[in-house]
């Protein structure tokens, strides 16, 4: 079966016989996102037996299984990106990415990342990046400053509240004219179900 990472869209070819028929989680080797997959082929058919009376419990089981798969799909679906506005001197380059990220300790983060470009004719301080994440009846906000990017080890091992707070500290080197800088905004202990997120550059 072919699968694609919901974050970086890297594609993989996974033999069906290595995937649990009921579904399982896999980790992207490129960006580290953990997401769910299910086998695309059914298990080998059992030998034909004498007809038996259908059980309502079997129908209930499959109904609950379908509901579970739907909920997993909502949780791991890649939220859509909305770019609201930018400061006059900066703009978002390309499309920002937002997805849930599960750390090795089992804690979950919602991570939004992308690039900003200094469109002015002179060096400028890193702009503030505001992000609003939205879902069915839920809303959360977080921010950071362009250029503040934690290492992979910090993302996996630093206490989540301290990790988010470290990105909210203003400072860092100025961004030269015409230069792009990465940004990352982290939601510590986010609720499930974010379906879209808005990114806005507010300047200083």
Q: Where along the chain do its domains lie?
A: 2-43+52-76, 80-203
pTM (predicted TM-score): 0.59
- At 61-116, the pLDDT tens digits run 666 666 555 444 444 456 787 766 566 688 888 889 999 999 999 999 999 999 99
Q: Which residues contact 67 (CB under 8 A, 6 or more apart)?
A: none
80-203 in CATH: which number? 2.60.40
- At 20-44, the pLDDT tens digits run 777 778 777 777 777 787 776 544 4
Q: Which residues contact 155 (CB under 8 A, 6 or more apart)?
A: 101, 103, 109, 111, 163
Calpha distance 182→163 (Å, rounded): 17
| β-bridge partners, 134 | 139, 196
Q: Do residues 148 and 166 touch, judged by C-beta distance below 8 A? A: yes
């Amino acid at each position: 079966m072919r699968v694609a990472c919901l974050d970086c869209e890297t594609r993989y070819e996974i033999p069906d016989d290595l995937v649990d028929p009921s579904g399982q989680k896999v980790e992207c080797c490129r960006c580290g996102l953990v997401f769910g997959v299910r086998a695309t082929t059914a298990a080998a058919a059992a030998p034909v037996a004498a007809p038996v009376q259908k059980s309502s419990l079997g129908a209930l089981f499959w109904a609950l299984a379908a509901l579970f798969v739907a909920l997993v799909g909502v949780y791991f679906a890649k939220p859509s990106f909305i770019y609201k506005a930018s400061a006059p001197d900066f703009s978002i380059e390309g499309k920002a990415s937002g997805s849930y990220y599960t750390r090795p300790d089992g804690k979950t983060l919602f991570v939004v990342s992308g690039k900003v470009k200094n469109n002015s004719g002179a060096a400028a301080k890193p702009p503030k990046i505001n992000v609003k994440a939205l879902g069915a009846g839920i809303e959360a906000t977080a921010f950071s400053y362009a250029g503040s990017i934690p290492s992979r080890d910090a993302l996996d091992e630093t206490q989540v509240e301290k990790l988010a707070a470290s990105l909210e500290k203003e400072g860092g080197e100025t961004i030269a004219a015409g230069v792009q800088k990465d940004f990352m905004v982290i939601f510590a202990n986010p609720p499930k179900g974010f379906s879209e997120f808005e990114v806005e550059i507010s300047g200083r």
